[in-house]
Structure 1
């Protein structure tokens, strides 16, 4: 069987090949392709989102392949129509947004993903970004690097709030949100949880379930987003919702940029209503040169790194390879989307 390992500069092609070989042996042909992400930002390719590479390159690479293992390659209708031998696509990420699922179904191609591969990394990063924004770590580090011992950051008005004793509202309580909740509880926070799709038992185990989003916002010193981006959640936090937060609240987003109205966030930061914010994701990535985010006060920004550590790359390759092994042995797929 011919397998295409379409890696990138994070989940590298040779890493995919090593995990595939460990799972299925050396009796199959594995061809490698390296995509430009993340050195080149992902984007929309034809009708799919968050993809890296182009259709013509993929059509050439998939010639004769029955299996494709990738994280970021576009799997569009054109590609599926031009790869008649393709039977399985395994996407090394939590959601197969770079696959045209309708077209895959029409062509009899099974699609799997690798849920949970970066849950721990994203949860850790969320806490780091939350603390960086609350305790003004980047600002104080920059001052010291510039040769200034910024004693004013030790004054009451400038030193920032802490997690211990605060109320933190989490919007979304899946694999990432539940981990963040446990860590925050250990640090002494009261954790409120809003997730209309989660099991109530899971919510109760992770914190205090809140049935109404407005109620959570009114009670939260810090709000962190952990929801999936859907038509219902797009723009979930806008000007009205941010105005419900207590004066001096903090907003953190390591989920998806479009969950948050960035113009409304900038307004709230510039007016002083929000004490700080931390963003790892953006509606447009990277933010364009004229974006107000680049000059907003007390805003910590990082370039979509929450899910990136070395363990995540290995997790994605290992989970994907296991799915290929199941497919070759005729076993049920563990993470089949279609």
Structure 2
């Protein structure tokens, strides 16, 4: 039986789990680069099981129709918007998920925000280029402060709550909004529930922790960016389409927005000529919010377990 592991960019899949525990007739092939079109179909030809990494590769009805041998699709995490589960069901393909390590994305959120506030990329580049404090004058920007500042958290689920707790440790005031925010829960966490408009107007930094849906798509657009304080910061480690990229670029270029820390984008990988690559006051990472050693161990350990359980006739973590 052929099993294909897709999008192992960092070449960790085989070392992160005991694939040798699978039956001897299970051949595991790992694809390290991101494939599309004919190259993807060629790599998956004859595969009975496929392991996909988050939402890097979409499995829609059109692709599934070209994979007649596919019977098991394992996605890392317990949800994947890029997998058409209905189409899988129609074609007799079982979809299973894996566990998830929660802290990693919250930690990257703070890495991006701290890099923006303290201007770490610019200062690092200056030191490497031979500059020192004599060139770091007020005109070129001075690092800001977190203590006493206001953080707006859009989405107060598990990740948003974790981010809020860190903000409180920095002596920040925390505001929260979502369309179905539990105000009592927020207050119990020491977080002030607000309207979206008030959160944007009062926050020195805004961070997004919302699930992407048709309702949340474009939740930050030109109107919302205009409501933010001049010089405020925006961090997005959730999903790219939550933010209108064109409006974000306008706000950065005009100087209204103080900076943006982004881990997610409308189209991934980010195109080589994408204007965000040269946009001012940005810190960009390649959708690695979930990436950590512990996360990879959990993903691939559970993926091996999913394949073994399916072969044994007792599938686990089935997504419906």
User: Shorter chain as normaliser: what TM range?
Assistant: 0.7 to 0.9
Aligned to 2:196: 213
Q: Which whole-Å CA distance do the structure 2 matches of 1:332 and 1:166 have between them?
A: 49
Deviation at 1:219, TM superposition (A): 1.6
Please state if 1:308 is matched with 2:291: yes
Please state if 1:124 is matched with 2:86: no
Deviation at 1:234, TM superposition (A): 1.6
Q: Which whole-Å CA distance do the structure 1 matches of 2:313 and 2:68 have between them?
A: 20
Aligned to 1:252: 235
Please state if 1:105 is matched with 2:89: yes
After superposition, the CA RMSD in angstroms is 3.0
Deviation at 1:262, TM superposition (A): 2.2
Aligned to 1:35: 31
Deviation at 1:55, TM superposition (A): 2.1
Check conservation: 1:90, 1:113, Cα contact below 8 A. Answer: yes
Q: Which whole-Å CA distance do the structure 1 matches of 2:175 and 2:162 have between them?
A: 13
SS of match in other structure, 1:161: coil
Aligned to 1:147: 130
SS of match in other structure, 1:14: coil
Aligned to 2:205: 222
Gaps of 5+ in 1: 47-52
| 1:177-207 residue CA offsets vs partner (Å, 9 max, x unmatched) | 2221221222211122223346556544544
| 1:9-66 residue CA offsets vs partner (Å, 9 max, x unmatched) | 33644246x4455xxx4546322122233xx4x76x69xxxxxx61232132x1xx3x
Q: Which whole-Å CA distance do the structure 2 matches of 1:238 and 1:317 have between them?
A: 37
SS of match in other structure, 1:224: strand
Q: Which whole-Å CA distance do the structure 2 matches of 1:293 and 1:187 have between them?
A: 29
Please state if 1:56 is matched with 2:42: yes
Please state if 1:88 is matched with 2:87: no
Q: What is the aligned length?
A: 317
Aligned to 1:4: 3
Check conservation: 2:10, 2:32, Cα contact below 8 A. Answer: no
TM-score in terms of structure 2 length: 0.84
Please state if 1:166 is matched with 2:165: no
SS of match in other structure, 1:116: coil
SS of match in other structure, 1:265: helix
Gaps of 5+ in 2: none
After superposition, the Cα gap between the structure-2 partners of 1:318 and 1:201, relative to the gap in structure 1 and judged at 3 Å, is: farther
Q: Which whole-Å CA distance do the structure 1 matches of 2:58 and 2:267 have between them?
A: 19
Deviation at 1:128, TM superposition (A): 0.7
Deviation at 1:222, TM superposition (A): 0.4
Check conservation: 1:184, 1:191, Cα contact below 8 A. Answer: yes
| 1:247-292 residue CA offsets vs partner (Å, 9 max, x unmatched) | 2211111222221122222222233222222122222334445543
After superposition, the Cα gap between the structure-2 partners of 1:317 and 1:206, relative to the gap in structure 1 and judged at 3 Å, is: farther
Check conservation: 1:6, 1:73, Cα contact below 8 A. Answer: no
Q: Which whole-Å CA distance do the structure 1 matches of 2:279 and 2:13 have between them?
A: 39
Q: Which whole-Å CA distance do the structure 2 matches of 1:287 and 1:138 have between them?
A: 19
